[in-house]
Structure 1
Amino acid sequence: MKVVQYKAYGNSDVIELADVPTPEIRSENQVLIQVKAASVNPLDIKIRNGIMQKIRPVSLPFIPGADVAGIVMATGSKVKHFKAGDEVIAVCRAGGYAGYTLVNESDVALKPLNIMFEEAASLVVNIGTAQSVLFDEAKLTKGQRVLIQGAAGATGATMVQMAKNAGAYVIATASGPGVALVRSLGADEVVDYKSQDVAQLVKDIDLVVDCAGGESQHKLFEVLKPGGKLFSIVIPPSADLAEKYQVEARFISSGISARSLSDGLDLVKKGKLRPIVAKTFRLEEAAQAQDLLSAGGVNGKIVLVVV
């Protein structure tokens, strides 16, 4: 089968297309999936650059790809909920940039029938992260005021929709075409961070979710009410500023499984959560896809289509 892999850490020029044997079921709980689409995530690039070696070591050659959508080809003897022919999405953590991948049953969910494979692949990490941050960690409830920084990105766009569906009042930051995008997703207010100062316009926020990182994160402390929460999925927030403003501030590393996707996928099935695919590439164009994501400013998700 065709895979995208690299044999050394570095820039995107280390990425190569290779032929490797198709994986076979090795344990009773595994599911073999023919990959139709795989999403491109910032983590893929961080691992490739080598900056994650201490906390996320990998063996080289390495096949990236944390989430996929495809068709079940075979299952282990104890797999109960899936059969050959099922259209599914899966959290694979590695190995998604490939024609086939093996995953555990606990990391597989049925693909909503009302979306295409590339749309389904675009949602896995987004929904899992949103569920973890908004509900598992922040305990978001109806009526709370939420600010989502970087709301036009892949995860931010999903968070806007999931927060709105939970009854929150959602304020989003975006720029350029992203302003109209997040407004169309249901944001109650949108701040153009390139021309407006969010700290001057927004106050008394219960929860800030930072999906962008950078120096602008420091400004986000100013919009929180005392006792509020600032959770980042990019960089750890300042402990000193958390103490100064009397708020809770943490970096959230999401543990994503099929269970964490359940609520979000229900919204997709009901037409209440829209996948945003910014651009698709062929599998052999994985290097260009990662470079586009690295350049920044992408509204929605970049997806590899496997044919």
Structure 2
Amino acid sequence: MQNVHDVLTTEEGQRAFAHWRLAGLDRLECELEAQLSCALMPPARLHEAVRYAVFGGGKRLRPLLCQASGVALGADRQALDTVGAAVEMVHISSLVYDDLPAMDDDSLRHGRPSVHIQFDEATAILAGSALLTQAFMTLRHTPIPPARQALLMETLARAAGPDGLCGGQMLDLDSLGSVIGLPVLNLMYQMKTGALIRAAVRMGALCAEPSDADLEALDRYATAIGLAFQVVDDILDVTQDSATLGKTAGKDAQDHKPTYVSVFGLDPSRRLARLLNEQAHAALAGFDARATYLRELADQIVNRLH
């Protein structure tokens, strides 16, 4: 049984985390606002679509991971805010593309019409491209030495390209209607979902001066939570409704898409999510209390099941 001191310590920690999270989200919104063009600037329809996509809700998990990783290593807060905004732009870009009829063909995102539904397909494609390019413009403004800016750009480009998001989406499209094993499923989601999560964690660390050991541990943490995030998403897709999810529920099964639930089963997927969370915590064993926010974010990912 927990004693009173343990309970108070836990409650205090949760309050501290909630305060840190809200403050970080507020700064992120300000940074995104500063980096994106006004909706009234020409071409107004494109800027309106970009802002519709960016400010339409979402968990903002990746920029929070970037900030938490940087906090663990003592990085500059403004650098983390700028890098987090760039990572979020790439993530939002991928969602705009993912919803297109040629991809997942989903009309709902964050509880409202997808960009191509609210505007049109051509505008959605251009908005996704605009966000992707703006992300790298944003990184150029990071207040760190140019050589480290270049390393951030390389990290983000790798996560977004054929070894990351693009490659994972291709594997996803190729797998529709197919029966695949767990190794292929893991690879697909390590690229499509995990690559940008790993990049967010690594880029936060790169805003400081991490050791090779720090980066290796953070990579193991990020790999675990990247897969955990996807496992939980697959579980929620079959256990929650569209109103709760903010996107079309049950669409994976409808499209005959392989998921952790379809390949592994519902209860084994739940156990896998918990195991991955344990692995994430184990990866942070060498860090002190400054990695508390990373631990809390890992727990939040898996606690979406409750």
- Per the normalisation by structure 1, the TM-score is 0.26
Q: By percentage of residues, which structure has more helix? A: 2
- Per the normalisation by structure 2, the TM-score is 0.27
